[in-house]
Structure 1
């Protein structure tokens, strides 16, 4: 029998046009998928080398993949794993970095190319950490730990700071950290040459909002930051003001907030807004456990007006349950939804003009299904472009 790697090479050399995706599973695997027409195929599955792979950062120019470790039990720490990507898409372990527990997101930043360093958001241990790349097994370049004077408005979820995402602004000069536990949007100034981060103000949502993930739209004076709020089940738009001096700080001003449902209706009990992405003049969020489509959960689309204001458009099926992760391809004609609990990747058509999501093109179950509210099942999916 041919190995998965040889099958992959044979597939690509056959002249068939295909799209490639990578998906991680909380069982500890990274999986290579091929989309060919309406067929989604598992090409290879391999161990990530960490305990709870929670997030994939794909470096297209550098032909590399970085996989975070959300481990929060047993071992005292986890590790950030890197893989090099060969011309045929196969993965080879290339490095590690020791991390404190609970990494739920990573991002590349800094350097002349914007990808010389990597930052980690640690939900479990209330910190962010950074590494210089490539990963060599060395200790983090920097660790920034956070504390609170007391629990937040929702003590069961806001007992401590819980950074949940890290990403850069459009200029690459600032790192943004939504902190679900502290109800803050933390802003860090980036020293591009050293990779060092310094505190540079905060955005302050309404108590009990629980900012989880974010994405930018626009540029310069017409820049808006959109934040998916897990605890209030909403999306907020923040106007961005850049400083006139290089030593100044980015300033965020809350502009508007909408729920994921028509008429600004409240989310069903038990729902949790998940990821958020911007494509063209549209914002999308995933809604975990709202069961709006015959037991399946939903994706919400919003339109963005010229000033950054958003309006609700529609909800469509996520074609599974607990859509923890989703990614829109560069062409904008497909969205890949990573449904955590049903542990499937659903590829859905997208209209590049209206932004509307259409029918499911293909779906594939990967690994064992998860259970609601547990760290199991599918954890992340990205297009390899």
Structure 2
């Protein structure tokens, strides 16, 4: 039922007048100083409850398996030089949030992002994007001590890109399509979307044709959107391997991408090709910022989505001096394009990462350079980001533009 404008205003007014709920939650954060931190949120009090020296020299990203209660930490240390390496560490998360290391192994250098995926029998795997390592790797789960990678894809470029930052391939993220049958990795250095189909039987990644992104864009992070109207299961053939695409929960599908170097956001129509790969067709490019122009030196970083509302963190725009910004965008129900709604305070410098809780009423922003975790309220009815609930300094501050400071934050959910 569509609410009238007056009814909506009244509803929002009642919601804002209602007592604020007391939230009790836990988060984990990584810092480039070599620590993983446990945080507790109790109402409007955010506190540090544990500090653990772990996850290599440069802890950079956390992925939580809530069913198994295992937290995985990737280390950004190392390069594409095989004499260097990073680490992957697994922790058992106790009911009180305290972490207990259960396994660690060496990885290709430069791990900056990871995602858990499954085969049709429930077998689990972890994929990692290696920025400085110019690679994507995978591991069998649960992780075993000193386990070798399941697969490793190493990338090379014949010519440098548009800017010095594009001197070599730099995968910056790995994320799944709505069916869980494909993995996409935006390569910031090569201006590519690297796509893999996932074998339903054993979780092997099979390379699909990469998708070119506009030269000099520097693709960083992306998300998929689907209307959930699909009702079929399709079988597709890719070489000698047949994959079952579980499309029962997927109908109209689109992908949204933020580009760090070009300062843009792109919209793609997604089709499941009978060849067994994804077909992506770009339909829109915008600058996700007020006035349609990104400030000098400012870059989009993280993108998240709830329903038809998108959120993008903007680093170094100083939109709320001395703090940077979060922007909220709306998706058109007609054609899937996005438009800017507003800009709000990130309450810190260089919001590298942020996470929305499952209830959808709180957002944890991890500001890298100011090294603070900020909890802001989110209106579940309108999608607007609101007041600051709590804020905590976590580790030492870092220099803007350097690999220092806070690197990631995740809810214990």
- TM-score normalised per structure 2: 0.86
Q: Quick check: 171-180 or 269-278, which moved more?
A: 269-278
The partner residue of 1:352 within 380, 403, 407 is: 380
Partner of 1:380: 408
Partner of 1:151: 160
Q: Between Structure 1 and Structure 2, whose CA radius of gyration is higher?
A: 2
| Alignment deviations for residues 256-302 of structure 1 (CA, whole Å, 9 cap, x no partner) | 112121242x2111112111111111111111100010220001110
> 1:30–1:114: structure 2 CA closer, same or farther, 3 Å change rule?
farther
* Counterpart Cα distance in 2 of 1:106 and 1:47: 20
Q: Mind listing any 5+ residue stretches in structure 1 that lack a counterpart?
A: 1-15
Q: Mind listing any 5+ residue stretches in structure 2 that lack a counterpart?
A: 1-21, 229-249
* Counterpart Cα distance in 1 of 2:55 and 2:358: 29
The residue correspondences of 1:282-293 to structure 2 (distance < 5 A) are 282-293=309-320
* Counterpart Cα distance in 2 of 1:217 and 1:48: 35
Structure 1 residue 122 and structure 2 residue 130: aligned? yes
- Residues 86 and 109 of structure 2 are in contact (CA less than 8 Å); yes or no, is this contact kept in structure 1? yes
- Residues 227 and 235 of structure 1 are in contact (CA less than 8 Å); yes or no, is this contact kept in structure 2? yes
Partner of 2:4: none
Q: How many Å apart are 1:17 and its aligned residue?
A: 5.8
The residue correspondences of 1:290-369 to structure 2 (distance < 5 A) are 290-306=317-333, 307-369=335-397
> 1:182–1:82: structure 2 CA closer, same or farther, 3 Å change rule?
same
* Counterpart Cα distance in 1 of 2:138 and 2:257: 23
Count residues in correspondence.
Answer: 366
| Alignment deviations for residues 28-80 of structure 1 (CA, whole Å, 9 cap, x no partner) | 11111111111101111112241101001011111010000100379711210
The partner residue of 1:238 within 256, 268, 271 is: 268
* Counterpart Cα distance in 2 of 1:78 and 1:134: 19
- Residues 178 and 185 of structure 1 are in contact (CA less than 8 Å); yes or no, is this contact kept in structure 2? yes
Structure 1 residue 224 and structure 2 residue 254: aligned? yes
The partner residue of 1:85 within 74, 77, 93 is: 93
* Counterpart Cα distance in 1 of 2:351 and 2:51: 21
- Residues 191 and 218 of structure 2 are in contact (CA less than 8 Å); yes or no, is this contact kept in structure 1? yes
Q: How many Å apart are 1:112 and its aligned residue?
A: 3.7
* Counterpart Cα distance in 2 of 1:124 and 1:261: 29
* Counterpart Cα distance in 2 of 1:341 and 1:358: 22
- Residues 223 and 308 of structure 1 are in contact (CA less than 8 Å); yes or no, is this contact kept in structure 2? no
- Residues 202 and 252 of structure 1 are in contact (CA less than 8 Å); yes or no, is this contact kept in structure 2? no
* Counterpart Cα distance in 2 of 1:200 and 1:221: 21
